[in-house]
Structure 1
Amino acid sequence: MIRIDSIWLATEPMDMLAGTETTLAKVISVSGAAQPHCAYLFANRCANRMKVCKVADSESDIVSIVHNVHIAVRER
């Protein structure tokens, strides 16, 4: 079980090919520090994919990418 106390949603798109260090740098530049037990969600420019990242107990654990999610959008 992954413990997540809070979820942060990014307001700017992010490159889905970015690795863990780039993702951690983005989190730190926006929020000042990577908070333990937090999940960070990033969308791509087309808003059809999301990257879900989490920070474990400390910043030394860095960020692990939990899942890249494809969002299906239906046209009406």
Structure 2
Amino acid sequence: MSEAIAAVLRYGFQEMYLNRIEAIIDPANTSSVQLLENVDFVREGLLREYDLGQNGFDDVFIYSILKRDFK
């Protein structure tokens, strides 16, 4: 899966000229947390009550990677 993410990041940075790519994920989704951290995304913080779920508002993590940090 990390090869697919690397391809998407490469396209975003090289073809779309993005400087920053973000991901917002459920903190309970440990597979996504591990995947993002394995491709050098940085956890910037916790957005409290960001997303409206079935039982009210849920917290989410926000991750990002900058073009200068992409290898």
Q: Which has the higher contact order (CA 8 A, sep 6+)?
A: 2
* Higher fraction of helix: 2
* Higher fraction of strand: 2
TM-score by length of 1: 0.27
TM-score by length of 2: 0.28
Instruction: Report the structure number with the largest CA radius of gyration.
Output: 2
